[in-house]
Amino acid sequence: MLSYLNSPTRHLFFTGKGGVGKTSLACASAVKLADAGHNVLLISTDPASNLEQVLEAPVGPEVASVDTVPHLSAINIDPEQAADAYRERVVEPMMGVLPEDTVAQVEEQLSGACTTEIAAFDKFTQFLADSEATAPYDHIVFDTAPTGHTLRLLELPAAWSDFIEDNPEGASCLGPVSGLEAQQDRYTEAVEALNDSDRTTLVLVARPERSALHEAARSSGELRDLGITNQQLVVNGVFQAQDPGDPLAAAMQQRADDAVAQIPDEIADLPRDVVPLKGHNLVGLHALRTLLDDDATPASTTEGPERAPSVSLPTVQDLVSGFADDGHGLIMTMGKGGVGKTTIAAAVAVELAERGEDVLLTTTDPAAHIHDTIGDSQPNLTVEAIDPNEATEQYRERVLKTKGKNLDPEERELLEEDLRSPCTQEVAVFRAFSRVVGQARRQFVVVDTAPTGHTLLLLDTTGSYHREVLRTADVDEQRITTPLMRLQDPDYTKMLLVTLPETTPVLEAKQLQDDLERAGITPYAWVVNQSLAAAGPTDPLLVERAHAEMPQIETVQNDYASRTALAPWMPNEPTGPDRLRDLAAGRMGVGRAHA
């Protein structure tokens, strides 16, 4: 029994970066409480929800009993549908009242991730603030908690209509809040419920990986600053090697042990639970109940496959061969945090430099990190780094001096909160990147971390770069080439979408692809990174997990990507030119693991 289930509060919120298993833990916790006789309501906003398969019963957009689990009710809120309804509610009163270009800007503001999160929380609040509606339930389990940024937005003054009308080139993330005034009292009650440690527990879910633990620490500090202090940490998917002769298994266990030993100070003292890694997908009630079963073995089933599957897909090296003869161009890696896009960018840069090409690698990661990844200086390769915090601060100062100079105190407070949003950093970093985009006319420029389509369209609709250049140019428009136009040119830019062979990261990468395509950008290829199937393990648990990867790899290859490359999970951290070349060539695993 996990510690937060010993004396559970009425509200349990699960949060964590994509792919750490928060949905599985939320469902397993809800079933555990229901099995103990408590009346439980499970609320999910997972866009890739497979609640029906997990619970082996229908789950829809309205609260209903789960036939297969007595005492359990569930609702599956579709965040995209919630966001569509929210957008319509906000934009409709503006139609025919505000200028068309202002309405277009608001619509683009409402297309971002902030809107989806706020719309989902809009749905959440009825289960937090309406005690009469939730009276039948002893416990309410929420899959996905609001971020600190969203909660701060809810606490701001409701002055959005005037602010947007008076500042058509202003807020990038605050537009979504323009529809919140009517429910201000409900949101206040909801935030109070979140801050009440007697009623609410926030469960931070992480994998035993440095990036996931640091994300949990960041979320913990941000929410603690807002008064949400009743926090628990669950380290999910902790692996114990069973085949001592498998170098992959030994390395995986050692890397996890090192990450947990160096856990960030912000979460080191939180109550902590550990959940062992399972070999099977958590589909079906039996599999779900084993997740929190102290007596369940973490090993693969005795009927599991004996060997890892055979996979034949192009490597990162093969992708590079497809554009290396161009002699120059912009190569951008993008993806959610923790998928390894920095490593893939470094591998591409080293591979191009090895072929004698002049290469610039630039990144928003701290300089020490990218230099540690590359290792010793390489012929033909220059490494730069942009400090995202410095770029963001410079951008904030400029915006406050220009757009903020004539605002009254309340409007300035709104603008300052907007400038603390994730979108602001993305816009600021892209402006810093823009100076190197033109260099790809003369050499290969590899950029780690690309802007999303939402950010690019936001820059476009506000006229802050692309359209502003065209509007103020004194020369023929056809001779103007802006950074956005270069990103839209497939001969100039090759966008590599990096993901992991797991359900949530693949879905998030598909959402990024849809986002980019709205901005007129089609990714050149997908890279499925850290694949156990490509590494050829012999440890029985890892073999079982390698087989579980195959449906996701096939979905990427057959449904989403025009080109697909596979990169193996490496026994050693892929740092330094030799290991990066091995990663690019897919040289890890199959031969050595089965030797």
Q: Could you read off the pLDDT of 198-227 as tens digits, one per residue?
A: 999 999 999 998 888 988 998 899 889 888
pLDDT, average across residues 250-259: 92
3 state SS of 244: coil
Q: Is the pLDDT of residue 166 over 90?
A: no
Interval 110-121: pLDDT, tens: 776 677 777 887
- CB count within 10 Å of CB 472 equals 8
CA distance 457 to 452: 9
pTM for this prediction: 0.79
Catalytic residues: 19, 21-24, 46, 504
Other beta carbons within 10 angstroms of residue 18's beta carbon come to 24
462 vs 329 pLDDT, higher one: 329
pLDDT of residue 538: 93
Bridge-based pairing state of the strands 72-76 and 64-65: antiparallel
pLDDT at 589: 40
Q: What is the pLDDT of residue 217?
A: 93
HEC secondary structure over 290-352: HHCCCCCCCCCCCCCCCCCCCCCCCCHHHHHHHHHHHCCEEEEEECCCCCCHHHHHHHHHHHH
The mean per-residue pLDDT over the stretch 282-293 comes to: 80
pLDDT of 526:
98
Give the architecture-level CATH label for domain 316-593.
Answer: 3-Layer(aba) Sandwich (3.40)
Where is average pLDDT lowest: 31-40, 85-94, 177-186, 208-217? 177-186
Predicted confidence at residue 469, as pLDDT, reads 46
Q: Report the pLDDT value the prediction gives residue 590, as an integer from 0 to 100.
A: 38
The pLDDT tens digits of the residues spanning 441-487 come to 999 999 987 666 656 665 554 434 444 444 444 444 445 567 778 88
Q: What is the pLDDT of residue 239?
A: 92
Measure Cα distances from 170 to 243, 306, 370, 401, 415 in Å. 58, 59, 34, 13, 7
Q: pLDDT band for position 516 (50/70/90)?
A: confident
Calpha distance 49→32 (Å, rounded): 19
CA 269 to chain centre: 26
Mean pLDDT value across residues 81-109? 77
Give the pairing of strands 231-238 and 272-276. Answer: parallel
CA 373 to chain centre: 22
Same fold, 3-203+279-291 and 316-593: yes
Q: In the prediction, which pLDDT does 175 show? A: 60
pLDDT digits (tens, 9 = 90+) for 51-82: 787 788 888 888 999 999 999 999 988 877 88
46 vs 319: CA distance, rounded Å:
32
Question: Domain extents for the chain?
Answer: 3-203+279-291, 316-593
Tally of CB atoms within 10 A around 513: 20
**Which of 423-427, 485-489, 496-500 has the least mean pLDDT?**
423-427
Q: Is the pLDDT reported for residue 350 higher than 80?
A: yes
Instruction: Give me the pLDDT at residue 489, please.
Output: 92
Is a pLDDT exceeding 90 seen at residue 593?
no
Q: Using alpha carbons only, give the angle 280, 284, 285 rounded to the nearest 5 degrees.
A: 110
3-class DSSP assignment, residue 384: strand
The pLDDT value recorded for residue 112 is 67
Question: Residues of the chain with pLDDT > 70: what percent?
Answer: 83
Q: Name which CATH class applies to 3-203+279-291.
A: alpha beta
Please report the pLDDT score of residue 177 as a whole number.
64
Mean pLDDT (whole number) for 236-248? 91
As given in the structure block, the two tokens for residue 455 are: 């950010």
State the residue for tokens 């600190």. Answer: 148
Whether the pLDDT of residue 351 is over 60: the answer is yes
Q: Tell me what the mean pLDDT of segment 325-352 comes to.
A: 91
